[in-house]
Amino acid sequence: MIKWLGGGNPKGGFKFTKSWTDKNGGQQGTGTLTIHGVSKELSFPYTVKKDGDWVTISGQVTMDYQNFSLPIIRSMAVMTVDPQLVVRFHVVGKVK
């Protein structure tokens, strides 16, 4: 996987930039994902749950890794990994 991302010390990140409530009452978010030196804006649904001082944020987004200049993954010309990835996240933190 490290070799696929460019070797050595791959860098990436995500910056959450916008949040809104959709017409059905669900939370939607937008942010910028940077992988392999390429940045793309992604939008996705997410949920927020609060339990005392703890907050949990969960969601998922589907993305095409080819949009980040990453090569298609093939193994021995027999197996090919679908470039459409579903990235799931689950973050738990304590409110200050």
Structural domain spans, the chain: 12-94
- Would you tell me which CATH number, out of the four given (3.40.1190.20, 2.170.150.20, 2.40.128.110, 2.30.110.10), belongs to the domain 12-94? 2.40.128.110
91 or 83, which is more confident: 91
Contact predicate 15/42, CB 8 Å: no
Residue-level pLDDT at 36: 78
Give the integer Cα–Cα distance in Å for 12 and 38. Answer: 9
pLDDT of residue 73: 77
pLDDT of 83 over the 80 cut: yes
pLDDT of 44: 95
Q: What is the pLDDT of residues 1-59, one digit of tens each?
A: 555 555 566 678 899 999 999 999 999 999 999 987 889 999 999 999 999 999 999 99
For residues 47 and 66, which has the higher predicted lDDT (pLDDT)? 47
